[in-house]
Chains A and B, each alone.
Chain A
């Protein structure tokens, strides 16, 4: 599949604009709804390309030069080769994929509604293992106004998933499931800095788990009293020495020192950008925003900078080489009303 286009753009300081008060118009890159967008970081400029996905992306993960995306509507795992800028393969999935993780060519895909994890080897279009767990009772479809708590990561050769309950799901490569009890309902997880880090939106807390012992080692409070005007963690990323928690309600990122295990900095983003996801890649931390901007946070400190891509961005995935974004269509539509 050929690229949609290529263009360059620049990052803006802060969340808002400069000059006329608005972010500069995007270069002419045609980002279709339900696309994967690649960013090559080169100094202060971006070079990027976009590829259409077979359905609405629910999660993305990156490894090396490759992007792995799961989508619904037409349930599939799509693998994109960033070097050739081509679609490598599309693997149909008989599930509703809500999250995925990739490590050393092994992909785990989670279906939070069914309580199902599947393991695939990226080189083969077949499922190598299935892991099932009893999912928590959740009201169906009411969750449209709430983020999906399903998330998965890989550590110590096993897959670790959150499902909105207080118990982490651990699936070993054969599909055997064990549960790790915690004190908080969990809705996001990342591996890095020698541990697993799971976040609780409801309790505004981060739980650190040692993947070797499968035990909770620390509970870190983002705020003392959670409420609708206080940070509420919705996603998490980990770098070598820090954990980065994206907060709803306040549009902030809490930086946790992985060694001292305390919040060392709260980085303000812009609420009107409607931040959705966070990941580390290419030497920085990245936030995808539903208003069409992507925000770069320097790992070593410094002001966040945003770039406007003119698409609704719901996911971000980084590797050492590249940063990818998942773009969707707006939810609110007037069918045929644009003409």
Chain B
């Protein structure tokens, strides 16, 4: 018991005091900024492994981007990845970063359903379904609840049963073999409920887009409340996105 107390004392405070302003260490690849420098746009677009780059004007779709950073190595004057981890939004088109755009990504207040802030701003219980996820977003979602990121302090938690949940967090490109279990889980969550897509694979299929082993029909049936880009998502991206979703008012 005494030893445990000693360890507890040694460890001190491990949590990030303010997750909305914390700086990430090192060279994290977050929101890209695209300059107006003219380059060979076809070559740039052709480089991208997931066709996330469009031309004329040049843009990067963060819903498709795997954040490999190869475009920034090939065209350093054109594309830079900043360390801004606030990438989540509720409108799919806001994930497309056009050249010259320097502003951060935010949620569109006009699209927020009133019941989300009304019911969930103090407490949000989420059910996670991995539908072909590679266990990287799953690791990072688990990390959201660890002693460093401590998402539980905001009343946001993952729960074991859809019956206890207010929403579903989907990771992975949604495989054919998971299509039915995903639907069953979603149906078991009581209304009102939200849907969060976590990670590039969930948002667009990522590198798996077009694979015959996927069945993404679930997504065409419902409105998505939050898109959280990343490969995998950074815990700070997820936490900030969810906080904005439940706290923002119209």
Q: Do A and B come from one complex?
A: no
